[in-house]
Structure 1
Amino acid sequence: MKHHAATYKQELLDRVLPFWVNHSKDEQHGGFYTCLDRQGNVFDTDKFMWLQGREVWMFSMLYDKVEARPEWKEMALHGAKFMERHGRDQAGNWYFSLTRDGRPLIQPYNIFSDCFAAMAFGALHKIEPDPAYHAIAKDTFENIIRRRQQPKGMYTKNVPGARNLKNFALPMILCNLSLELEHILGEEAVNRFIPEVLEEVMEVFYLKEEGLILENVLEDGSFSDSFEGRLLNPGHSIEAMWFIMDLAVRLDDKALAEKACAIGLRMLEYGWDAQYGGIFYFMDLKGHPPQQLEWDQKLWWVHLETLVFLAKGWQLTGNAACLEWFEKVHAYTWNHFRDAEYPEWFGYLSRQGKPLLQLKGGKWKGCFHVPRALYQVWQTLEKAPAFRQQPVDK
């Protein structure tokens, strides 16, 4: 596996990051363009706050962990200034989208804008320890916790009490966010928080008999036999398992790492398209037609997060299935998503593996999953095994 490390490093530093440095920065109004075509030309100027936060986090993290390149810090500060000036309503909630010059377009219905704003300012504070950045990260995280039971608040479309569901995405992200913000929140606060999110991810949404993770359950944790209740998103579940493995390292819990590895492998096996290759976007637990018409598309982030999971699973557990699957997913991902002619990667493929759109960024794809995965796989494959010398406690 280590022979892949240099490939991922080179792709990150020489092709993907320069694409965003060269094309995403709005020199006139601040912040970042994310709607970029195959060559990097801007095709829409709306600014989506969760993608602004992701890009600030990315360049802050790389400056902190890879190399103190001035252009990376300048990118992070440039985006943060726009977010700080325009990103929140009077209650401190982060809008979903803004115009190019920072006027609100879509209300703060989506709590993930807040999640990535907290990540952004937490990472920025590590490289530029401004008390204002610390306060924004802390206040935003506390607001997320206040809103977590009703994340959409007044913007929800559901009739109260009709079918109250809770979604997997928020506890999944909180697994990662709590570690990202430990320097802001403090070790004791994170220690108190971790068992709660572990319970949600590894018990409440997890179906032991099937070995699968649901996207939605009823408020009491029970199964809902509905479109939403039967929904599986293999990519979400697999991504969550590498978050859990990071928590396992934090907790020095070998058994937790093994369990996360086993669940992720089961989701991968279940979600793999045996006919055309690649991982399905959505599936139905009972094999019924999913309501998402894009259910059989192959998405960039699903495959990249799977590669991170497999690299970490191999490093932490030595499970041979991780090695076998890594080579298989690596070949599919690099052959189908990587654009050999222009930098950055395609995001959306048909079931047969052909690019559906020529864009490199948009409303949902920004400077995040591709560079983060390249960084994570590079770093993971360069490390010596952490748990493999020791048998797992049973």
Structure 2
Amino acid sequence: MKNSTHSQPINFQNKEELKRQIFKTLDFYYPSCMDYEKGGYINGFLVDGSINNTTTKHLVATSRYIYNFSIGVILGGTSWCLEAARHGIQFLNKHHLDKQHNGYFFEMNDLGVNNSAKMAYGHAFVLLASSIAYKAGVEEAREVLDNVYNVVETHFWDTEYEFYKDEWDESWTTLSSYRGQNANMHMCEAMITSYEATGEEKYLNKAYRLAKGVTRELADRSGGMVWENYTPEWQPDYQFNKNNTKDEFRPYGFIPGHQFEWSKLLMWLDRHKSEPWMLETAEELFRKGWEKGWDAKYGGIYFALSPEMKVIDKDKNYWVMAEAIAAASLLAAKTGNHEYWDFYNQLVTYSSEYLIDHEHGGWYKLLNRKNKRYSNVKSSPPKTDYHPVAAFYQAILALD
């Protein structure tokens, strides 16, 4: 399947162009994604924008849509962005929220609960969505922000190890033995966003603890890169999901994309609370992600590495490129080292050629090593292209 290419070179170091890219993505989804009949958003789209799933309502997708439309407001978008973000906050409150036990259901099928698990990963996105929506002017998002923060601190925070636990059942009675870095990473992102929205130090302190805990303590336990899956005592679990690199939330391996994502988070945190170890660690994670992950022959970043740091999944995933773009831009802004803009330009050039759909908008989800698409599905739940929207938003801030 041939990917669409773009004839005119795009200047990705131009803030107006990055803004245009963000709105082109929002325009791909809106207004088709608005489910006015049942509430919330439609999650499933083919490449050309036609809908292939009207019933799945995923907590992460609901939250990511709210994030996207809130960024639209912050970047000066028209009134529909605010209305679209508010629409999602209403659905969170009305349907994802468990009125009996509190917390948020992970997946709905129409208005019925399809997966009632209480997942830290999902709650991290509710925190991200409610804080950015509040910042964008959705007043009622504050109630969601306060509630979800209370839920994560009460049920997920592990006071002994100072990380977030991963998964409870519906009634908060059975806790999974699984522990993972992914939920903690997105919780860190949500805490920084909550701090920026409210100015309350408790969020910044929690983001700081998570960033240091994962990128220093946990990374040390697995040889300097962040492993994905852990035992209840937060030791790397090299058997869990063995060789299943395609798990959406708990992939097996060292994921180069997550090294870049932590690099981005450290530089974002550094804007508010700067310590020398942050830049040092961010550069180290970026370098390792690049050295182990960049495909010198076909371009793009490999998806997964074994415990021995050998490539075990050569596919190119859209979000990995987006996170690397964000990290490169923030490191360039922090260090003044032009090499990071060179990395940035390599990443955006690759993404523009193979991942960005210049015809319809949005990003293709997954390519093989030779940069060919596997299917004509543009967006299955919970994609929504939040990663590219967030990455270009960070790049806009870096260019400032």
CA distance in 2, matches of 1:199, 1:254: 12
CA distance in 2, matches of 1:317, 1:311: 10
Residues 121 and 365 (structure 1), Cα distance of their counterparts in 2 relative to 1, 3 Å cut: same
Give CA deviations for 1:298-340 in whole Å, capped at 9, x if unaligned.
1100001100100111110123431222222222111110123
- Asked if residue 177 in structure 1 is aligned to residue 185 in structure 2, the reply is no
Partner of 1:9: 19
Residues 298 and 367 (structure 1), Cα distance of their counterparts in 2 relative to 1, 3 Å cut: closer
Bigger shift: 117-126 or 171-180?
A: 117-126
Name structure 2 gaps, 5 residues minimum.
Answer: 1-10, 159-164, 243-251
1:263-278 → structure 2 map (5 Å cutoff): 263-278=285-300
Partner of 2:53: 44
How many pairs are equivalent?
Answer: 369
Residues 248 and 223 (structure 1), Cα distance of their counterparts in 2 relative to 1, 3 Å cut: same
- Asked if residue 120 in structure 1 is aligned to residue 135 in structure 2, the reply is no
Residues 39 and 194 (structure 1), Cα distance of their counterparts in 2 relative to 1, 3 Å cut: closer
Partner of 1:390: none
Equivalent position to 1:203, from 203, 208, 216: 216
Equivalent position to 1:93, from 86, 91, 103: 103
Give CA deviations for 1:251-292 in whole Å, capped at 9, x if unaligned.
1335522431232222122111233221111110215685xx
Partner of 1:286: 308
Kindly indicate whether the alpha-carbon contact (under 8 Å) linking 1:121 and 1:133 is maintained by their aligned counterparts in 2.
Answer: yes
3-state SS of paired residue (1:57): helix
Bigger shift: 141-150 or 30-39?
A: 141-150
Partner of 2:389: 371
Kindly indicate whether the alpha-carbon contact (under 8 Å) linking 1:134 and 1:184 is maintained by their aligned counterparts in 2.
Answer: no
Partner of 2:247: none
CA distance in 1, matches of 2:88, 2:178: 35
Kindly indicate whether the alpha-carbon contact (under 8 Å) linking 1:138 and 1:185 is maintained by their aligned counterparts in 2.
Answer: no
Residues 56 and 373 (structure 1), Cα distance of their counterparts in 2 relative to 1, 3 Å cut: same
Partner of 2:144: 136
Partner of 2:227: 214
C-alpha RMSD of the superposition: 2.7
3-state SS of paired residue (1:213): coil
Equivalent position to 1:25, from 7, 27, 34: 34
CA distance in 2, matches of 1:257, 1:235: 18
CA distance in 2, matches of 1:2, 1:297: 24
1:51-70 → structure 2 map (5 Å cutoff): 51-63=61-73, 65-67=74-76, 69-70=78-79
Bigger shift: 75-84 or 164-173?
A: 164-173
Residues 286 and 111 (structure 1), Cα distance of their counterparts in 2 relative to 1, 3 Å cut: same
Residues 227 and 80 (structure 1), Cα distance of their counterparts in 2 relative to 1, 3 Å cut: closer
CA distance in 1, matches of 2:138, 2:355: 37
CA distance in 1, matches of 2:211, 2:393: 25
Partner of 1:349: 367
Alpha-carbon deviation of 1:2?
7.2
3-state SS of paired residue (1:266): helix
3-state SS of paired residue (1:36): strand
Give CA deviations for 1:153-194 in whole Å, capped at 9, x if unaligned.
248xxx999xx5531112212221111112677533235424
Partner of 1:302: 320
Kindly indicate whether the alpha-carbon contact (under 8 Å) linking 2:228 and 2:253 is maintained by their aligned counterparts in 1.
Answer: yes
Alpha-carbon deviation of 1:125?
2.5
CA distance in 2, matches of 1:257, 1:75: 37
CA distance in 1, matches of 2:209, 2:88: 32
Kindly indicate whether the alpha-carbon contact (under 8 Å) linking 2:134 and 2:142 is maintained by their aligned counterparts in 1.
Answer: yes
Kindly indicate whether the alpha-carbon contact (under 8 Å) linking 1:166 and 1:218 is maintained by their aligned counterparts in 2.
Answer: yes
Name structure 1 gaps, 5 residues minimum.
Answer: 384-394
Partner of 1:79: 88
CA distance in 1, matches of 2:17, 2:169: 47
Equivalent position to 1:253, from 272, 275, 285: 275
3-state SS of paired residue (1:105): strand
Q: Which amino acid aligns with 2:195?
A: E
CA distance in 1, matches of 2:294, 2:192: 30
Residues 32 and 354 (structure 1), Cα distance of their counterparts in 2 relative to 1, 3 Å cut: same
Residues 317 and 75 (structure 1), Cα distance of their counterparts in 2 relative to 1, 3 Å cut: same
Give CA deviations for 1:193-217 in whole Å, capped at 9, x if unaligned.
2442133122122138954221134
CA distance in 1, matches of 2:270, 2:142: 26
Kindly indicate whether the alpha-carbon contact (under 8 Å) linking 1:205 and 1:217 is maintained by their aligned counterparts in 2.
Answer: no
TM-score w.r.t. structure 1 length? Answer: 0.85
